[in-house]
Amino acid sequence: MKLEYVGPKPIISHTGIEFDNNKEDKFVYLNIVVQLLKALSHDYFENKTYQYNADTGRLLESELMRELKKFCPDIESLMENKNHNTEEEIQHNLQRAQESDTLTQADKEILQNNINIMHDYLIQRSINKSVYYCSINALAKLVQKDHISYIVVPMFQKFAHVLHSVQGALQKEKIAIDTKIEIYQENGKLLVKLQVENN
Q: Tell me the pLDDT tens digit for each residue of 64-118.
A: 999 999 999 999 999 999 999 999 999 999 999 999 999 999 999 999 999 999 9
* Residue 51: band (very low, low, confident or very high) from pLDDT cuts 50, 70, 90: low
Residue 53, pLDDT score: 62
Residue 172, pLDDT above cutoff 70: yes
Alpha-carbon distance 116 to 121, whole Å?
Answer: 10
Under the phi-then-psi rule, with left for phi > 0, alpha for psi from -120 to 50, and beta for the rest, what region is 4?
A: beta
Residue 99, pLDDT score: 96
- Rounded mean pLDDT of the chain? 90
Residue 44, pLDDT above cutoff 60: no
The model's pTM: 0.89
* Residue 186: band (very low, low, confident or very high) from pLDDT cuts 50, 70, 90: very high
Residue 60, pLDDT score: 80
Residue 58, pLDDT score: 78
Alpha-carbon distance 19 to 31, whole Å?
Answer: 23
Residue 46, pLDDT above cutoff 80: no
End-to-end CA gap in the chain? 39
